[in-house]
């Protein structure tokens, strides 16, 4: 049996005709840059994420960059974030001359450990970027409280978490701004790069729209320096079709996760140190913390040999992320060393993500669990 980590062909098979029709419309119109499809997608994603305003941009990375430009991040300004994330969360800060200040993660969720934020705040801190990693929201209430106390902006990196809920609020709608990525492997993925910034703040919205087109308003009159951060119409056309399926896909991912949670527990491997993807943890109030499982990530013993075994069985896996950002060569000048963020380092050494995409069959999921069990026998 073959179980790839992600099978986008299976997804495409279900929407092929609709997508081709939508792309055809764009090609017939010959309107490729921004335009009505992008406007419509912005309206729909704003609605979907329960925020009033959305600005379509060229990627999730550019969404982070333009959000930081919108708050006028200056060289030397500090931004608190997690070292256990995709590179661009901190890369965007560094590109503007800002200083990423890392805070370790909570071992249960792999998201920012909110108890450690306060100690990282200095007079230079301008913002916090919590990352809703793997599809689960960071613990936003304490983060927003710390931000309010110290007058900081909060940019939610929801690149992996469109449609996730935290205490009844949608990912991206809680902070000053939220960003999404439409990279093909995200839950809402385009046919290329794309991203979006959402916000509740009309003034920021206006500024983001100007920054997206080189800072010009009106055209050819530049009050500020922006860039080309535009989303194109073909991506918007594809994403509009996919957005109508997103809730179903997220539910199916959750069902798959529940399957793994149950079956992996039944193997007895959890007693022997395998950590399953934790269930939502902020549910004590009865509010939904709706995890949308962009990845299903387990912590295991002897990870690299397990991966080799699964590869032999034609099961795709990936390590998100093998090197925490404080140990990346490009951030050497920050002066961090091994041991500074032990929970992140432990995660980087021991986690592995297994197939969770919506179209997985029961037989495939069963085969994944059996193959993991077989390795530890
Ligand atoms: C994917 C991702 C990004 C970047 O998005 P791109 O669209 O690939 O530029 C940023 N942050 C996180 C957490 C991501 O997973």
Following CA atoms 310, 312, 315, 318 in sequence, which dihedral angle do they give, to the nearest 10 degrees? 60
Please check whether residues 205 and 320 belong to one and the same domain.
no
Q: What is the pLDDT of residue 135?
A: 96
Q: What is the pLDDT of residue 102?
A: 98
Does residue 336 sit in helix, strand or coil?
coil
CA distance 325 to 33: 34
Q: How many CB atoms lie within 10 A of CB 223?
A: 9
Burial of 30 (0-12, 13-18, 19+ CB in 10 A): exposed
Q: Which of 243, 258, 284 is the last residue of a domain?
A: 243
What domain count does the chain have?
Answer: 2
* Domain range for 191: 8-103+110-243
Residues with CB under 6 A from ligand 1: 59-61, 85-86, 88-89, 131, 157, 159-160, 181, 183, 193, 195
Given a cut of 50, whether residue 283 has pLDDT beyond it is no
The atom number, within ligand 1, closest to the CA of 186 reads: 1
In a domain, 168, yes or no: yes
In a domain, 1, yes or no: no
Mutate to test the pocket of ligand 1, among 156, 183, 344 (most ligand atoms within 8 A of CB): 183
Decide if 145 contacts 115 (C-beta within 8 A).
no
pTM: 0.97
Please check whether residues 76 and 210 belong to one and the same domain.
yes
In a domain, 58, yes or no: yes
Please check whether residues 31 and 134 belong to one and the same domain.
yes
Write the CATH number for 164: 3.40.640.10
Gyration radius from the chain CA atoms: 21
Given a cut of 60, whether residue 301 has pLDDT beyond it is yes
158-209 pLDDT, tens digit per residue, is 999 999 999 889 999 999 999 999 999 999 999 999 999 999 999 999 999 9
Beta bridge partners of 80: 101, 128
In a domain, 3, yes or no: no
CA of 128 to the centre of ligand 1 (A): 17
The atom number, within ligand 1, closest to the CA of 64 reads: 10
Residues of the chain above pLDDT 90, percent: 92
Following CA atoms 304, 305, 310, 312 in sequence, which dihedral angle do they give, to the nearest 10 degrees? 120
Distances (CA, A) of 303 to 194, 208, 214: 33, 43, 46
């Amino acid at each position: 049996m073959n179980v790839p980590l992600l099978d986008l062909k299976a997804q495409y098979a279900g929407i092929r005709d609709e997508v081709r029709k939508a792309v055809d419309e764009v090609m017939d119109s010959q309107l490729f840059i921004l335009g009505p499809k992008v406007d419509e997608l912005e309206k729909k994603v704003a609605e979907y994420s329960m925020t009033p305003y959305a600005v379509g941009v060229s990627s999730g990375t550019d969404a982070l960059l333009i959000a930081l430009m919108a708050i006028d991040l200056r060289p030397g300004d500090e931004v608190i974030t997690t070292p256990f994330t995709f590179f661009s969360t901190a890369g965007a800060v560094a590109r503007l001359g800002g200083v990423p200040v890392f805070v370790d993660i909570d071992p249960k969720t792999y998201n920012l450990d909110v108890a450690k934020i306060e100690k990282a705040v200095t007079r230079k801190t301008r913002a916090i970027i919590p990352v809703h990693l793997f599809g689960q929201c960071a613990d936003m209430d304490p983060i927003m409280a710390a931000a309010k106390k110290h007058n900081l902006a909060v940019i939610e990196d929801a690149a992996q978490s469109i449609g996730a809920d935290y205490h009844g609020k949608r990912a991206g709608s809680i902070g000053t701004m939220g960003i999404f990525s439409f990279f093909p492997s995200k839950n809402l993925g385009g046919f290329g790069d794309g991203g979006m910034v959402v916000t509740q703040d009309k003034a920021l919205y206006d500024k983001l729209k100007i920054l997206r087109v080189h800072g010009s308003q009106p055209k050819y009159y530049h009050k500020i320096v922006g860039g080309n951060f535009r989303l194109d119409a073909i991506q918007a056309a594809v994403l509009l079709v996919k957005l109508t399926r997103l809730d179903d896909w997220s539910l199916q991912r959750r069902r798959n996760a529940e399957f793994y949670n149950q079956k992996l527990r039944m193997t007895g491997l959890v007693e022997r140190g395998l950590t399953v993807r934790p269930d939502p943890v902020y549910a004590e109030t009865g509010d939904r913390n709706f995890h949308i499982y962009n990845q299903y990530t387990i912590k295991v013993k002897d990870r690299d040999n397990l991966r080799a075994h699964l590869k032999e069985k034609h099961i795709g896996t990936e390590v998100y992320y093998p090197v925490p950002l404080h140990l990346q060569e490009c951030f050497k000048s920050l002066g961090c060393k091994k041991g500074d963020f032990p929970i992140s380092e432990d995660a980087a050494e021991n986690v592995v993500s297994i197939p969770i995409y919506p179209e997985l069959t029961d037989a495939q999921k069963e085969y994944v669990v059996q193959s993991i069990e077989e390795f530890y026998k």
